[in-house]
Structure 1
């Protein structure tokens, strides 16, 4: 008799992982089960981020996980980083967003574009969670058009003077340092702006209905003076911030798989246990069709991200491939969260269950770091050779 498949891993993706990758997944899964899930609904309700979990995530090596050990990081591969994102977002998108921003949007530009002195100064303390970063690219008017950047930095002797504003910045109110992208006479450049610098202010954004267990802020720069030593010397132009976004988007292809699995699991368990008309809700063909379709879409996303991770580790990944996976996997998760909410009936509208929380969070995930339409057009451009932006 054939062995019954794991309903949450129908293609046995786990068998394709190395022992180290399985250990990483199990460790983060245990952290999510024991430390995140018991409290995250309450934090979401309150609109607060669970600050006390930062030190624990750092201790597990989740911050800057794929950077070399010489900088105090864990030196994991890309697939392990993806699994970290998946298991954290199974808890909440806000948890994955925190790690994604710290790792791929803040530590990565320092590692890839910074001087060795900057790497030695910042990466070890950021890996320990002693210094939190944020990524200042998006502007109030800009959105999907980062080239239309109004924030400017002008040279004045050995310093730079920055003026402008950034909007929708994850971790902004928590951050000790901001990676700020600004127009200069020599193209777009990145600067490390430390909290407490005169003229630099952050204001948290409230009344959110999405990513409530995450800090989202606006950044303001009024004549902010930073030394040239705080400029990232290794890159000029949009390829700098876009390179960071590719790193972060890769993790986002994995994260929503976790959110989808969480919603799918609740839908399966609830429909098995709920009795209507003298039989479990799961005994209805219409319900099984929906659950089967959820499993199909989760399996497709798992295979997509695993192959993407293997290509990233092999150095053959192309940004368009990341766009395709981000588009597919976030749409998959959002659709499953909505359908799971429906299967839970009235119970599905409360944060005592996860689908409505995940659905609300994924409304942000499908928008940030490239909207669904932007990624569709990236794929379209690759296919046709014509830029339709």
Structure 2
């Protein structure tokens, strides 16, 4: 179990981050660096040094850090993303790069490398992705050949954050015993980096290819001092690291949404502010706030479970990242539309946020990889339980207060069980697209349950101490009701569509989708959206 930072320390870190970046990276400098495609290495090193010490939050206390847990990391990563996602990526890369050591290294390796992060503020890079392999870590071409005293590395890595500024890099290479992690220091002979990539977004981060030409790495730099454990070590951190990228999507999406909210509160059109127009708020603001908060509920629930010692929770990490990155990207897109022509210009910053947040649907596993990860795992659960997995989950929601929308969330999970059973009976998951669509539906169904539980916890005063508290219990319940309606509609309509679309003409259509109940559950939707809009614009205090 990880207790992490106390609330006062976490709040101090969040405030310090905001103050530091506001001074070191005002909007004018952000825009200039973005235009010039320049990474502010000086600012990053100051953040990871004595000026701020953000690196301390991510390192266990026994190695000199503050021992932050998954919940702390989510809150810090969300704040970083709201400030600048490129900057956030550069800071995050150090902890991603050191994770193979933290989770697989010997005690001596942890003391050496984590100690240097704490004391010297060195920057790390995570050298896993390759040009031909993409997200498939098993398709390695970088090799580690044993020689006297160590190994010779040959190969190339692509899309490496901090690639040309990192002081050290963890590199995944194929040794005789299988994929293995090695730690290389900058300046090692034969180890070089390419010119930084000219990217669509996160232009304040440094991203570069790495090259290994007969690079000698000492045997003591083999992580764990044993070959063949690299993929296991990588899998051990996916749940945690994808949760952090989920926080990036959440922070970027909320920053864009908040800018749109402020803009529309002042912008007058046809005699009234945009914020007074239901057609504006209920299309461009409220739905995105709801989806972001659904993602937050799943992030906070998963972070709490990781800190409680439940393991890496890889599938839950995949769901969190999928929900938050898709919601963040959509919210940023809507924010541009919400600003009209101004949103398409650089000075209003939402244009930059949209380009930045787009990467969250790609790095640390594309949305499509995540859909497959989610679907495969939950499909096995459906088969093992003979279809009871989501029916049982729906039954547990029945005990939650009615105002949380738990009954509608339960209906969504029951419809999900019916869709999955129809896929089993018709052997429809032989169609890859059907399997991927199941991943999307599963993520939304599980998020509806998480959000209902979060709303219930807010109502009875049992939210985690470090939970975000932007919304009151009553408003959070309204948000939960809106999302539950969306989830059941998506699962019943889209799930039924793809099931029927995969059947032949003579096959019977699936039952159990409960269309009448799904449609009846939509009653009250506009009223709840009105409540959320009124709170967002300060027209009501609930």
Whether these two folds match at TM > 0.5 is yes
Shift of 1:204: 2.7
Unaligned runs of 5+ in 2: 1-5, 381-428, 436-542
Could you tell me whether the CA contact under 8 Å between 1:54 and 1:129 is conserved in 2? Answer: no
Distance 1:234 1:377 in 2: 33
Give the match's secondary structure for 2:188. coil
Shift of 1:129: 5.2
Aligned to 1:297: 291
1:334 matched to 2:329? yes
Aligned to 2:66: 74
1:274 matched to 2:264? no
Residues 262, 32 of structure 1: alpha-carbon distance in 2 compared, 3 angstrom cutoff: farther
> Pick from 79, 87, 102: which aligns with 2:94?
102
> Pick from 355, 359, 363: which aligns with 1:360?
355
Aligned to 1:243: 236
> Pick from 311, 319, 336: which aligns with 1:324?
319
Deviating more after overlay: 310-319 vs 233-242: 233-242
Could you tell me whether the CA contact under 8 Å between 2:181 and 2:230 is conserved in 1? Answer: no
Which is helix-richer, 1 or 2? 2
> Pick from 18, 25, 33: which aligns with 1:29?
18
Give the match's secondary structure for 1:148. coil
For residues 13-57 of structure 1, the C-alpha deviation after alignment (integer angstroms, 9 at most, x for no partner) is xxxx94443333333333344433433222111111112222432
Shift of 1:245: 3.6
For residues 225-283 of structure 1, the C-alpha deviation after alignment (integer angstroms, 9 at most, x for no partner) is 11101111266141122334433212111122111121111101111111121221222
Unaligned runs of 5+ in 1: 1-16
The correspondence of residues 1-389 of structure 1 with structure 2, limited to 5 A, is 18-38=7-27, 39-58=29-48, 59=50, 60-63=52-55, 65-103=57-95, 105-128=96-119, 130-233=121-224, 236-289=229-282, 290-317=284-311, 318-385=313-380
Distance 1:294 1:30 in 2: 27
Give the match's secondary structure for 2:347. coil
Distance 1:157 1:234 in 2: 15
Give the match's secondary structure for 2:223. coil
Distance 1:246 1:25 in 2: 23
Deviating more after overlay: 367-376 vs 301-310: 301-310
Distance 2:198 2:114 in 1: 33
Residues 237, 122 of structure 1: alpha-carbon distance in 2 compared, 3 angstrom cutoff: closer
Distance 2:30 2:15 in 1: 20
Distance 2:57 2:77 in 1: 11
Distance 1:129 1:202 in 2: 22
Runs of 4+ in 1 over 4 A off after TM superposition: 386-389
Distance 2:270 2:147 in 1: 76
Aligned to 2:454: none
Distance 1:233 1:373 in 2: 32
Distance 1:310 1:251 in 2: 13
Could you tell me whether the CA contact under 8 Å between 2:238 and 2:314 is conserved in 1? Answer: no
Residues 331, 128 of structure 1: alpha-carbon distance in 2 compared, 3 angstrom cutoff: farther
Give the match's secondary structure for 1:352. helix
Give the match's secondary structure for 2:202. coil
Deviating more after overlay: 169-178 vs 268-277: 268-277
Q: TM-score, normalised by structure 1?
A: 0.90
Shift of 1:331: 0.2
Could you tell me whether the CA contact under 8 Å between 1:28 and 1:88 is conserved in 2? Answer: yes
For residues 314-352 of structure 1, the C-alpha deviation after alignment (integer angstroms, 9 at most, x for no partner) is 012511000001000000000000000111111112232
Could you tell me whether the CA contact under 8 Å between 1:112 and 1:234 is conserved in 2? Answer: no
Could you tell me whether the CA contact under 8 Å between 1:178 and 1:194 is conserved in 2? Answer: yes
Q: TM-score, normalised by structure 2?
A: 0.65
Give the match's secondary structure for 1:204. coil
Shift of 1:120: 2.1
Distance 1:67 1:207 in 2: 32
Q: From the CA coordinates, give the structure whose radius of gyration is larger.
A: 2
Could you tell me whether the CA contact under 8 Å between 2:103 and 2:233 is conserved in 1? Answer: no
Deviating more after overlay: 117-126 vs 239-248: 239-248
Distance 1:288 1:248 in 2: 33
Distance 2:377 2:111 in 1: 38
Which is strand-richer, 1 or 2? 1
RMSD of aligned residue pairs (Cα, Å): 2.0
Give the match's secondary structure for 1:27. helix
